[in-house]
Amino acid sequence: MAPSIFVLLVLVATIALLMTDKIPIGVIGLLIPVALVLFGILEPKTAFLVLGDPLMLLVACAFVFGGAFFKVGLAQIIGDSVQVFADRFGKGSEAFIIVLAMTVTIVMSSVLPNLGVVAVLLPVFLSISKTTGIAAGRLLLPVAYASSVGGLITLIGSPNNLIGRGALEAAGAGTFGFFEFGWVGIPLSILCTLYLATIGRRWLPAQTLVTAAVGIPAKASVNISAGAGSSGIGYSTDDSALLAASRGEDTPATATPAVPRWHQILTLCMFGAFVLGILLEKQTGINAYIIGIIAIAVLVATRALPEKTALSSISWSTLFFVGGILVLAGTIVSTGASQLIVDVLVKMLGGSPNPYVLIGGMFLISLIMTQFMSNTAAAGILAPIAISLATGIGGDPRALVMAVVLGASCAFLTAIATPPNIMVAEPGNIKFVDWIRSGLPLSVMAFVVCMVIVPLVWPVYA
């Protein structure tokens, strides 16, 4: 059997395993190179070299900085400030509080792991729900949605963005800049916020879980650790206060040890250096991950960030899966499997397919897949296929990859689409029909943004 057929079989098996949701995505990622070695597609000594790929190191740095923000209390400071602001200026206005909740979540999620952001803000908005009488679900559902669209604003906002850029660079098909995702992320964030604060409020959950706001801790410690799901970020079972609050249990406030102010200032400075390293990578000729590693080394050396915290901040499951997908993407191209896929798709679409059909098709496939599997997995599988399809018809792969990334970030329709959705579902008493009623209009908005902006910014046929 031809090597390309074996590679396609591995691709199909990967999709099947992801859809069953029985095996962690990290294990699936490790099984991919193992299968390719057993099939004789790769040599054992080269199968795992991708674990040292610059993209892998960049993803790891992003995870560590996310953990650092929570460890030194910067994220908690933001959460406390939100509550003070809402109490002072909200005056019980539901629309105002929804706009505030979504704006803060979007801004934080643009540079921090979305599950960590929701974990910090969950007790804040449960408390606001209790004091204002607004049903918890009417605040938590917008927060969950905001955590997804906020990740579309910067390169490090979501692993999906890094996967898209990594797939492009691996194929020599271009790249995405740090703020380039903002072309779609910012308009979509604004539209979603305005919609849910106005017309969409009628579709937000009306029911209240009575016990959801009882005994909410003033501060809940958040542990950014290797977790499952789309974001790759989880919270450990040690976070009893947070877990109890999310379940509506009566729990005393968690004591949070004081963090030296200089730890927070140093963390901000090192994170700024990391962001600048990404922005000026081409100008300086220094890989961004080098700057990131140096900055993290400074935090660890000064004990602003304990070594154990830095290591536990990395979502190894996501990292291994990204590595496995990069290996699979490379073999899809090198064995000619990509050409087989492209030939079938081109025959179906015609010799020079309409760019709107291509962009819309990739977006919809990605959006549907991400409702039932990890959105990191959806982006990882579809990105190399989108690149092969675009190059096969002589088009710009960036347009189709952006459509894939955008679709994978639209985790609007089910509670299982992304971990933040799961986190808010119970305390907000959010039912299946609530996800559909509120999520469908947002999905339509995302489709419109995709069809209008993507062809303008990244034309398929230049």
- What pLDDT, in 10s, does the model give residues 420-433? 888 888 888 888 89
- pTM of structure: 0.74
205: in domain? yes
Predicted local distance difference test score (pLDDT) of residue 242: 42
The mean pLDDT value for 120-138 works out to: 84
Predicted local distance difference test score (pLDDT) of residue 417: 82
| 24 φψ region: left (φ > 0), alpha (ψ -120 to 50), beta (else) | beta
Residue-range definition of the domain harbouring residue 132: 3-457
The mean pLDDT value for 311-333 works out to: 82
403: in domain? yes
| 172 φψ region: left (φ > 0), alpha (ψ -120 to 50), beta (else) | left
Predicted local distance difference test score (pLDDT) of residue 219: 40
Q: Is residue 73 packed enough to be buried (19+ CB in 10 Å), middle (13-18) or exposed (0-12)?
A: buried
462: in domain? no
- Residue 122 pLDDT level (bands cut at 50, 70, 90): confident
Predicted local distance difference test score (pLDDT) of residue 207: 53
388: in domain? yes
Predicted local distance difference test score (pLDDT) of residue 213: 37
pLDDT for 42-58, tens place per residue?
Answer: 888 888 887 777 878 88
pLDDT at 230 over 80: no
Higher pLDDT, 454 or 340: 454
Count of domains for the chain? 1
Are 136 and 427 in contact by the 8 Å Cβ rule? The answer is yes
Q: 47-61, 359-373, 440-454: which has the highest mean pLDDT?
A: 440-454
What is the torsional sign of CA 123, 139, 189, 372? positive
**What is the overall mean pLDDT for the chain?**
81
Q: Do you know the residue count of the chain?
A: 462
267: in domain? yes
The mean pLDDT value for 221-237 works out to: 38
The mean pLDDT value for 10-25 works out to: 80
40: in domain? yes
The mean pLDDT value for 267-276 works out to: 90
Residue with tokens 């990391």: 274
Q: Can you state the angle between helices 337-349 and 316-334, rounded to 10 degrees?
A: 80
Q: What is the DSSP string of 346-382?
A: HHHH-SS--HHHHHHHHHHHHHHHHTTS-HHHHHHHH
Q: 25-39, 204-218, 374-388: which has the highest mean pLDDT?
A: 25-39
pLDDT for 364-421, tens place per residue?
Answer: 999 998 887 778 878 888 898 899 888 878 889 999 999 999 999 999 998 878 888 8
The mean pLDDT value for 113-138 works out to: 83
Predicted local distance difference test score (pLDDT) of residue 210: 40
61: in domain? yes
